[in-house]
Structure 1
Amino acid sequence: MASHVARSGITTDAKTGERYIPASVRADGSKRKEIRVKPGYRPPEDVELYKTGAAAAWKNRGKGGVPGAESLSTGADKTNTANTAASNKNAKRREAKRQTKEVDQTNPAETKGVESNNWRAPAPPKKEEKPAEEPVDVEVEKEKKARNLKKKLRQARDLRIKKQQGEALLPEQLEKVIKIQELVRQLDMLGFDSNGDKKTDDQ
């Protein structure tokens, strides 16, 4: 059996499987001894380089015909296959939509709880359940309004004092001063006096 010689010059013995660099004679006539190579060692010369498609195409440039035209028929076949697959997919979608529509039209009551055959179809929006409205306490609402009116009344009276002291007021501040009587009337309707305190039965 013949021994295998690698590109780097390492010879593999076919019988034993040992790898070695055979003995040789130098240029000056001296002899170079045989060197044993450790198992598993691969010199850089024996390592195959990774070749990309672009590198292979560059290496083989000029050998073929027009670039990109070598497999027009193959490309056409691929395009036809892709178109057929896409059209089949679209046809299935249309069929599923049509079936869903028919089912909805024939018996809408039955389809409410039944899932549609077309899983891509968006689920019908769920009706939001409104939380039960809590009963409004009339007295609490009155007090709330009264507090608000009392605050406005206090601000308006402060502005009136400033005006009496000769301070110039802005138009919106003057409007607040004018509304003092209206605020007092609203408080009275809610059952509060002009100071914002709740009226007793004696009053």
Structure 2
Amino acid sequence: MPAQAKETPTSSGIVLDETTGQRHVPSSIRADGSKRREIRIRPGYQPPEDVKVYRNPSATAWQTRGKGGVPGAEGLSANASNQSNVSAASNKNAKRREAKKKAKAEEQPEQDGKKTEAAGVTEGKAEGAEQALDPDAEKEKKARNLKKKLRQARDLREKKDKGESLLPEQLAKIIKINELIRELDSLGFDADGETKSSV
């Protein structure tokens, strides 16, 4: 009788017989001395003890933190191959950004070795500066904001006159009514927010 080559048992005790390819739980002896018979396992059956527990990637990464090398080091060679596959559109956009930066640098030359104040502005604000409105439009925009604040302050003053209690911030807005009117006046608008007619 040839010796059967057996694999190490799984956590549930199932052993694979390599000669026949069948899986079974081998026979064993109980504590009272009686013999437990061998149990055959149907093909494809996976007992719950052998099913691997699902571990989400975050938990796995948390457990293995500090064990790896430099983060992203293995991806360096992959990035080099991906660089060659960059789309034509992204190349075009990159060239456009470079040209825009060069144009800005030419428009705003350095004066006395110091960059102008506008050159130090962040990129988002720089784009907004390109689309800057003419001074009249800026005045109107500021006047609209001041009119809105003035209207809110007057509404709060009416509430106060009716006897409603107001928060300290609301009282501060009421106090600033005259200041808002002065600012509107300096922009060329009257107390109602209408443009002053030049007489």
Q: TM-score, normalised by structure 1?
A: 0.38
Q: Which has the higher Rg, Structure 1 or Structure 2?
A: 1
Q: TM-score, normalised by structure 2?
A: 0.39
